Amino acid sequence: MLLPSLLRTVVPLVAGWIIVAVTHLGFGLDSNTAQAAVTLAVAGAYYLVFRLVERVAERVAWPVWIKGAAGALLGYARPPKYRSTDDVADLLRQSRS
């Protein structure tokens, strides 16, 4: 379970960095701080867009490949699934499986 979560965190960050580096998004990114802020904003938007596509594809009768493609663009084709629990020890066991 940990690998899908890790991939779905890192891939949007890398995608945001690549998008900003390639397009410059019309910003003069002379400052490292400004570039980091824009990269994080783009990565957040990237994640949100593809996660929303994935969720909508689950609920609407869209072709299965759309959900898979959106998940793959997040780094892992399926979202991680966790059981609902309040037991911290059980949560740790789930994260290791």
Two tokens at 57? 């594809």
Two tokens at 36? 């980091």
Per the structure, the complete domain to which residue 86 belongs is given by 2-96
CA–CA gap between residue 97 and residue 4 (Å, rounded): 11
Quote the number of domains for the chain. Answer: 1
SS3 (DSSP) at 30:
coil
Global confidence as pTM: 0.61
pLDDT of residue 25: 64
Report mean pLDDT in 10-residue bins for the chain, 97 residues. Answer: 74 81 65 77 87 88 89 82 70 70
* Backbone φ and ψ of 10, nearest 5°: -75, -45
Q: How far apart are the first and last CA of the chain?
A: 6
